[in-house]
Amino acid sequence: MDAHQEYEAGAAAFRAGDAAAGATHLRNAAFAGHAEAQNQLARIYFARLKNRSDLADLESAAQGGDHVALFVLAMSFIDGKLVEKDTEKALAALRLTASQGNTMARSMLES
């Protein structure tokens, strides 16, 4: 499936109540460069970020190559969510995730 088909399959799975399949398709679409999938996946990650354990899971995913997780970490450094605000770390994470294909990070760095 291409990125748009993955995104559509994810949306259909969520509508049908299959969150696991929906998340898998959404993640596949996001990693294939689908901008809206990246946006939605980031929102899910950010909403689930409630404690230090969640932060550690997000950091692990980012270190494993999940550029959406890295984008959410950057936003955490900007907002000070579960971490101390740190503009330098946020910018470094945004630059790295943009280089990995994250469209949201690219937009932020270009503005």
The boundaries of the domain holding residue 88 are 3-110
**Both tokens assigned to 7:** 């995104």
Give the pLDDT of residue 26. Answer: 95
Write down the pTM of the prediction.
Answer: 0.87
Output DSSP code: residue 59.
H
86 SS3 class: coil
**Domain CATH for 32:** 1.25.40
**Both tokens assigned to 1:** 């499936």
pLDDT tens across 39-90, in order? 999 998 988 889 989 999 999 999 999 999 999 999 999 999 899 999 999 9
Q: How many domains does the chain have?
A: 1
Give the pLDDT of residue 12. Answer: 96
